[in-house]
Amino acid sequence: MKIGFFGTPDIGAFCLRALAANFEILFAVTGADRPAGRRLQLQAPPVKEAGLELGIPVLQPGDLRDENFLFELERYPADIYVVVAYGKIIPRAVFDRPPLKTINLHPSLLPRYRGAAPVEWALIGGEAVTGITVQLINEKLDAGDILAREKIDVGRDMTAGELYDIVLPKGAALLADTIGRLGSGGIIPVKQEEEEATYCGKIDRELARVDWTKTAEQIHNLVRGLNPKPVAWTEFRGKSVRIWKTSIPEGMEGAVLGPGELRVHGKKRLLAGTGSGVIEIKEIQPETKKLMDGLAFINGYRILAGEKLG
């Protein structure tokens, strides 16, 4: 089975390496190099780095409809194209080319959480179960026929980073299995139920800002959904602080704290009020400081009565 691969970030690089162990990868299409770091030096996307390590030709077209790019694809007679977080819509002139068409790995149980950042949004939404889907690409966003799905249970305190650690190997394995079964004609595509579709957008800095009038559960879900990036944030004493980890403590139902109001419990635990309920801040990072636990923050900042976050 000869594969043409499209992908850009870490999840794409992981799947590219996994597929290369079992299939012939003819090329990898990825995004442009981007400025990064304080010196804004150009940095290659993870899929490019993986492709070069594996000795796979890497293509970085600015426009997938460009005639030169389409002509270049003719040099690589792939049986199937595989897309994993490429970041751009694949046009029909591309996805219809190979005999087995083009498939996409999406880290949600489609048709739920179509669009960007489905792992993060599933946690923000408080889902107890999420999953991965392999679908056929069509011209609509994440709306292609489903080839395979696998459910993943989500723990109450699981972070996006921890969920990705599960999604990556399961996703790569599901892709490989799906490709093999497609080659033997062993899959019947199933249309998505449009009435069940939900959509999620990109996560920006404003969305990552904690609204302390929301419930403890909503804030906890936001924090874990944005860990390890971009990380939820708020303000304290006129400066920004990043909230890395929280929990919903038991036995605090009777505690009365205003939204964002801080309280030290038992000299060791950092609590904050919300619109409904209390959360414990387990890991916090003040501006220009290193990540610290709640106790280190208590000892370093000597919380005053009535002080608030936000």
Write down the CATH number for the domain with range 216-301: 3.10.25.10
Q: Tell me the C-alpha distance between 271 and 290, whole Å.
A: 20
The domain limits of the chain are 2-200, 216-301
Q: Which strands make up the sheet holding 146-153, listed edge to edge?
A: 58-59, 24-29, 2-7, 80-84, 102-106, 129-136, 146-153
Write the class of the CATH domain 2-200: alpha beta
Are residues 117 and 200 in contact, defined by beta-carbon separation less than 8 angstroms? yes
Q: What pLDDT, on a 0 to 100 scale, did the predictor assign at position 252?
A: 73
Pairing of strands 80-84, 102-106: parallel
Q: Tell me the C-alpha distance between 65 and 90, whole Å.
A: 9
Q: Tell me the C-alpha distance between 188 and 175, whole Å.
A: 15
pTM for this model (two decimals): 0.94
Q: What pLDDT, on a 0 to 100 scale, did the predictor assign at position 186?
A: 86
Are residues 271 and 279 in contact, defined by beta-carbon separation less than 8 angstroms? yes
Q: What are the pLDDT tens digits along the chain (310 aa)? A: 999 999 999 999 999 999 999 999 999 999 999 988 777 889 999 999 999 999 999 999 999 999 999 999 999 999 999 999 999 999 999 999 999 999 999 999 999 999 999 999 999 999 999 999 999 999 999 999 999 999 999 999 999 999 999 999 999 999 999 999 998 888 999 999 999 999 998 899 999 999 999 999 999 999 999 999 999 999 999 999 999 999 999 877 667 899 999 999 989 999 999 999 999 999 999 999 999 999 999 999 999 999 999 9
**Closest to 308 (Cα-Cα) out of 232, 218, 238:** 238
How far, in Å, are 52, 257, 273, 308 from residue 305 at the CA level? 57, 11, 13, 9
Q: Tell me the C-alpha distance between 216 and 157, whole Å.
A: 13
